[in-house]
């Protein structure tokens, strides 16, 4: 549904997006990650037809964003990071207006607006002015406008920003349901959302693609590096530790601490304890730390 090939976007001499390529299919929920300024929002604006690329191509449902921008916008529902709403309009009035912009008429428009109000939980707020709503409810209005024309592709830039935990759970459920028959691309800084929602993750840094993998592959990468911190009463010879099966390295740290790295799936704590008893070492502490998704993300975006 969305194909990005060798996409580049320059602002003057600065490359905000630098030769990135990836595609997203129907029924796929893609987490689009990167630190602030990495180029996520720029890529999303290009994919929705609101910003022209400097080089490369972007196609949505077979339509080129440069050659057919209006058709691309018919295929895409877009919630930008800074949700541009008309604060003096009433919720129901605004959604009717957005529906008319997308060509919905009469009873079809009214039915679609009612369905979206119900879908995103705006029933009690629909007769209020948007300016009187909380940030969470404004986000819901933004989601409703993105869905009003039943697009095949949803592009959501930080969709849970400003929501309370209950609202976040509701929006995640909605995104999961939508992802069953739509293409969903969403950016987030909340990594647990990635594991909760995504089938795939693309990470960019400084405008360049640094990872494109399934969530399970990213999880395996996180689980593949195990750090064990061992503390002894006195300094020891690390050579016997390095010889243990499953141990890949041993680093000597201050105050008789040793940082021991083990290969994926290896639990070597029992072997370390037995070796300590055998060698007559007094083992004061042994703590295992798994590498988290956050650490994988940080290592890719330094």
- Asked if residue 190 and residue 296 are part of one domain, the reply reads no
In the chain, the number of structural domains is: 2
Query: CATH code at 253?
Result: 3.30.70.100
To the nearest whole number, what is the mean pLDDT of the chain? 90
Q: What pLDDT shows up at residue 67?
A: 94
Paired tokens of 78 = 């877009």
- Asked if residue 211 and residue 106 are part of one domain, the reply reads yes
- Asked if residue 198 and residue 156 are part of one domain, the reply reads yes
- Asked if residue 181 and residue 117 are part of one domain, the reply reads yes
Query: CATH code at 99?
Result: 3.40.50.300
Q: What is the pLDDT of residues 134-168, one digit of tens each?
A: 888 898 999 999 999 999 999 999 888 777 888 88
Residue 224 has pLDDT above 70, yes or no: no
- Grade residue 219 by pLDDT with cuts at 50, 70 and 90: low
CA torsion, points 77, 32, 218, 299, in degrees to nearest 10?
Answer: -170
Q: What is the pLDDT of residues 90-139, one digit of tens each?
A: 999 999 999 999 999 999 999 999 999 998 889 999 999 999 998 888 98
Q: What pLDDT shows up at residue 220?
A: 64
Q: What pLDDT shows up at residue 108?
A: 95
Q: How many whole angstroms separate alpha carbon 263 and alpha carbon 252? A: 18
Which of these, 45, 153, 150, lies nearest to 99 by C-alpha position? 150
- Grade residue 259 by pLDDT with cuts at 50, 70 and 90: very high
Q: Which is higher by pLDDT, 216 or 199?
A: 199
CB atoms within 10 A of CB 205: 18
Q: What pLDDT shows up at residue 264?
A: 67
Paired tokens of 29 = 């929920």
Report H helices in 29-134: 40-47, 69-75, 91-101, 106-119
Containing structural domain, residue 49? 2-220
Q: What pLDDT shows up at residue 292?
A: 67
Q: What pLDDT shows up at residue 63?
A: 95
The pTM assigned to this predicted structure is 0.76
- Grade residue 232 by pLDDT with cuts at 50, 70 and 90: very high
């Amino acid at each position: 549904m969305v194909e990005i090939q060798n996409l580049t976007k320059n602002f003057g001499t600065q490359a905000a997006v630098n030769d990135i390529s990836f595609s997203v299919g129907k029924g796929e929920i893609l987490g689009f990650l990167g630190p602030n300024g990495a180029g996520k929002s720029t890529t999303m604006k290009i994919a929705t037809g609101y910003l022209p690329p400097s080089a490369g191509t972007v196609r949505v449902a077979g339509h080129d964003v440069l050659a057919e921008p209006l058709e691309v916008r018919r295929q895409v529902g877009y919630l930008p990071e800074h949700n541009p709403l008309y604060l003096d309009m009433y919720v129901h009035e605004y959604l009717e207006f957005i529906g008319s912009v997308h060509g919905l008429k009469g009873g079809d428009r009214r039915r679609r607006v009612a369905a979206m109000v119900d879908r995103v939980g705006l029933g009690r707020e629909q007769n209020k002015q948007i300016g009187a709503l909380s940030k969470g409810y404004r986000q819901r209005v933004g989601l409703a406008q993105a869905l009003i024309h039943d697009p095949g592709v949803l592009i959501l830039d930080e969709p849970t920003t400003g929501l309370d935990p209950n609202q976040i759970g509701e929006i995640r459920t909605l995104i999961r349901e939508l992802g069953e028959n739509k293409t969903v691309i969403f950016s987030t800084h909340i990594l647990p959302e990635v594991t909760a929602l995504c089938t795939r993750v693309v990470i960019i840094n400084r405008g360049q693609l640094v990872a494109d993998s399934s969530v399970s592959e990213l999880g395996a990468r996180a689980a593949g590096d195990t750090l064990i911190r061992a503390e002894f009463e006195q300094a020891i010879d690390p050579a016997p530790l390095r010889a243990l099966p499953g141990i890949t390295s041993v680093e000597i740290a201050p105050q008789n601490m040793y940082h021991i790295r083990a290969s994926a799936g290896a639990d070597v704590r029992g072997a370390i304890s037995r070796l300590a008893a055998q060698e007559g070492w007094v083992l004061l502490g042994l703590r295992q730390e798994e590498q988290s998704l956050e650490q994988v993300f940080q290592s890719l975006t330094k």
